[in-house]
Amino acid sequence: MEEIKESLYHALTFRTELCTGCSHCMMKCPTEAIRVIDGKAILNPDRCIDCGECYRICPYGAISVRQDDFEKIYNYKYRIVLMPAVFSAQFPDKITSHQIYRALISIGFTHIYETESSIEFLVKPYNDYVRNHKKKPVISSFCPAIVRLIQVRFPTLVDNIMLIKPPMDVTALYIKKIFEEENIALEETGIFYVTPCAAKIAGIKSSVLGDSSLINGVINMSYLYNKVYREIKQKGFGVEENPAAEFKSMTRNSVRWSLTKGEIRVVNTNRKLAIDQIENVIDFLEKLENENIDNIDFLELRACYQSCAGGILCSGNKFLTTERANRRANEVEDTKINKQQLERLAPYMEENVLLQGKILPRSILKLDDNMAEAMKKMKRIHEINNILPQVDCGICGAPSCQAFAEDIVQKAIDIKGCIFVQKILEQNDKLDITETTELMIKTWGIGKLDKSRIKELNNEVNI
């Protein structure tokens, strides 16, 4: 099976000066991409899918998300903000879309589009793809974390991934087409996507197909939310009778698209499922890969609970955000969309929404270029794993005994790094306390084993 070998761009970065080596991120990572070495969390880029679970759980703020400098928007004459519908749904009910619109213009943007305003161009391609694609179930390509998850952990399912561009790319294509028709120079046009998560940053900066995005920059949603909210509080902007009029055409399907069940609403097939939260997705894909599930035509899979409303860069409560978005969808009048423009641009858009190329698996455990040697190493991993305690305690600096066995065979660590192995060797006089301490320091750093701390602990024990 052909595989991608080069590393992808990652939006998540680890700040070693803040990391305490608590191992929360290591134990939470769904692809076992994190190890603790010398008391610090270390990321393996070949395993990372930018799902953000480590960012979500880190208690020390030691994981950050890379983003473009907001000042980058001023490099362009026409500055377009491309924001998901969940962005405006995070604001309190007292804040109107008119105020949000005015604030976005006030801070520097010249044009405002919602990411899902191109959804009506996707309905027909979606249904055609699901109906005609031979390998079922077809898996949505909407969530880049899910696409990368399948690449690294479920490689046999890569051919199930729908080769249709996500809404942010489709809307960027739509904007470029509109501006081109209005004779606006494309080099003077900058499109900036407001992201609710790290995965979409990674997806824009480094496409799984290697093609370049029409999006010129990415803005952290939490950052923009705070900036807009502050602008509204300072300037007010008043209230209009029809505050929704400022935003570009949105249908009920458009407003709900980034929420759980947003896609399956438009797919006309007998059996379709929407699954959110990375643990639920992994559990389902394991069953699917083992052929325990069949007769499903389409899967909408999202890494975050409540989908984009639960993204790690969202400021609002995910449940309130979902409620507001659904309320807005119920109030939308589909008849107000520009059907004439939709019909005119539909042939061009439908022709260009398909992804060109093939999504390939990504190797997360390349043991050796030589197949025979790789098989020997795989056998050795199995043997080592069988003699390990299978408690997945993480004290070795790896998230599981299986991962520890892999690290041993890859010569990243010695089997004596396992605390249970250490105790066995101590009982057999093959390891002394000095060696044990050195092994612990190699994984957890000197700080957790310094003498003054040990003295304090001894005093506590003696009380």
Q: Where are the domains of the chain?
A: 12-65, 70-352, 371-462
Quote the pTM value. 0.90
363 pLDDT more than 90: no
| pLDDT per residue as tens digits for the range 249-286 | 788 999 999 999 999 999 999 899 999 999 999 999 99
Predicted confidence (pLDDT) per residue in 347-360, tens digit: 888 888 888 888 88
Q: What is the pLDDT of residue 2?
A: 55
Q: Which CATH architecture has domain 12-65?
A: 2-Layer Sandwich (3.30)
Calpha distance 156→153 (Å, rounded): 9
pLDDT of 418 higher than 80: yes
pLDDT tens profile 215-251:
999 999 999 999 999 999 998 887 554 444 455 578 8
Q: How far apart are CA 116 and CA 98, in angstroms?
A: 18
Q: Does position 334 have pLDDT exceeding 90, yes or no? A: no
**Does residue 339 register a pLDDT over 80?**
no
Give dist(CA 157, CA 114) in Å, integer: 31
- Residue 311 reports pLDDT greater than 60: yes
Overall average pLDDT of the 295-315 stretch: 96
Is the separation of the CB atoms in 369 and 5 below 8 Å? no
Dihedral (CA of 348, 351, 356, 358) sign: positive
HSE at residue 304, side-chain half, CA atoms within 13 A, is 28
pLDDT band at 120 (very low <50, low <70, confident <90, very high): confident
| pLDDT > 90? residue 97 | no
Residues shown for the chain: 463
Structure tokens at 327: 């309320």
Q: What is the pLDDT of residue 243?
A: 44
User: Mind giving me the DSSP string for 134-187?
Assistant: SSSSEE--S-HHHHHHHHHH-GGGGGGB--B--HHHHHHHHHHHHHHHTT--GG
Residue 428 DSSP class: T
- Residues with Cβ within 8 Å of residue 306, at least 6 apart in sequence: 259, 260, 276, 318, 319, 321, 322
What's the pLDDT score for residue 380?
92
Q: Which residue has the tokens 């935003």?
A: 247
210 Ramachandran zone, left/alpha/beta (phi>0; psi -120 to 50): left
* Residue with more model confidence, 305 or 331: 305
Instruction: Please say if the pLDDT value at position 11 is more than 90.
Output: yes
